Amino acid sequence: DTEVTQTPKHLVMGMTNKKSLKCEQHMGHRAMYWYKQKAKKPPELMFVYSYEKLSINESVPSRFSPECPNSSLLNLHLHALQPEDSALYLCASSQANRATDTQYFGPGTRLTVL
Amino acid sequence: SQELEQSPQSLIVQEGKNLTINCTSSKTLYGLYWYKQKYGEGLIFLMMLQKGGEEKSHEKITAKLDEKKQQSSLHITASQPSHAGIYLCGADVNTGNQFYFGTGTSLTVIP
């Protein structure tokens, strides 16, 4: 099973809402990632979790709050977002956070902020 | 500046034609990955190259890594409409636990 699942597939939220994106993998991977992808641009790394600890935060605004409750789950909590945060949010996982570890991606959550 | 540059930016080919996409790094490559993305969807892992001179094939797609030139190429033989999408190369170019994506190549295959 090389599947990374993400829910929901689509999310529309207002600027005052609080919502969460969820990512799950059952491959025993110990590194998980959040990426943000704007239209016609490559994905940009937001956060990296390695062994359930946040190891990289790419200067992401605090209105995005990641959480890794266990080795299979990764959440991204959203609060007070701006319309420019509308994008495809991709989750990925890899065996560990090493250069030679293949990252497997989920299908993404399409987020629209009104 | 972009760590990984892809060329061409977009490509329109007739079905059945061969094509090549290039990915060039400004720094040393430590593992080079190729992904395919349908517009607005997640990334599908195609293949990974680790060693200079390595070449891998999957169905009609072949990827090569030229470590000296810090470049990888993706070649599609006898393209089909199902090959259409955005192709992204990805790599760790600093061994600093950061993964970079290339600028992307949009491929359209005309039946």
Q: Is the pLDDT of residue B37 over 80?
A: yes
Which residues lie closer than 8 Å to A81 by C-beta, 6 or more apart? A13, A15, A17, A63, A111, A113
Q: Which amino acid is at B27?
A: K
Q: Distance between CA atoms of B87 and A44, rounded to whole angstroms?
A: 15
SS3 A85: helix
- Chain B partners within 8 Å of A105 (Cβ): 35, 42-45
> What local confidence, expressed as pLDDT, does residue A14 receive?
92
Mutation target to probe the A interface, by most A beta carbons within 10 A, among B2, B10, B41 is: B41
Nearest to A104 by CA among A25, A36, A39: A25
Sign of CA dihedral B14, B16, B17, B22: positive
> What local confidence, expressed as pLDDT, does residue A56 receive?
79
Nearest Cα of chain B lies from the Cα of A82 at a distance, in angstroms, of: 20
Lookup: tokens for B34: 């190729």
Q: Distance between CA atoms of A46 and A49, rounded to whole angstroms?
A: 10
Output the DSSP codes for B54-87.
Answer: -EEEETTEEEEEETTTTEEEEEESS--GGG-EEE
Q: Distance between CA atoms of A16 and A80, rounded to whole angstroms?
A: 5
Condensed to tens digits (0 to 9), the pLDDT of residues B41-57 reads 788 889 988 877 889 99
List, as own/partner pairs, every contact residues B29-32 make where C-beta atoms lie below 8 angstroms and the sequence separation is at least 24, other chains included: B29/B65, B29/B67, B29/B70, B29/B72, B29/B91, B29/B93, B30/A99, B30/A100, B30/B91, B30/B92, B30/B93, B30/B95, B31/A99, B31/A100, B31/B91, B31/B92, B32/B63, B32/B65, B32/B72, B32/B89, B32/B90, B32/B91
Nearest Cα of chain A lies from the Cα of B102 at a distance, in angstroms, of: 7
Residue A103 at interface with chain B, using a CB cutoff of 8 Å:
yes
Contact call for B42 and A97, based on CB within 8 A: no
Nearest Cα of chain B lies from the Cα of A41 at a distance, in angstroms, of: 7
> What local confidence, expressed as pLDDT, does residue B2 receive?
67
Residues of chain A short of pLDDT 50, as ranges, are: none
Condensed to tens digits (0 to 9), the pLDDT of residues B65-108 reads 988 888 999 999 999 999 999 999 998 766 555 678 999 999 99
- Chain B partners within 8 Å of A6 (Cβ): 42
> Given B35, B40, B101, which is nearest A88 (Cβ)?
B40
> What local confidence, expressed as pLDDT, does residue B98 receive?
66
Pairs of residues, one from chain A and one from chain B, whose beta carbons lie less than 8 Å apart: 58
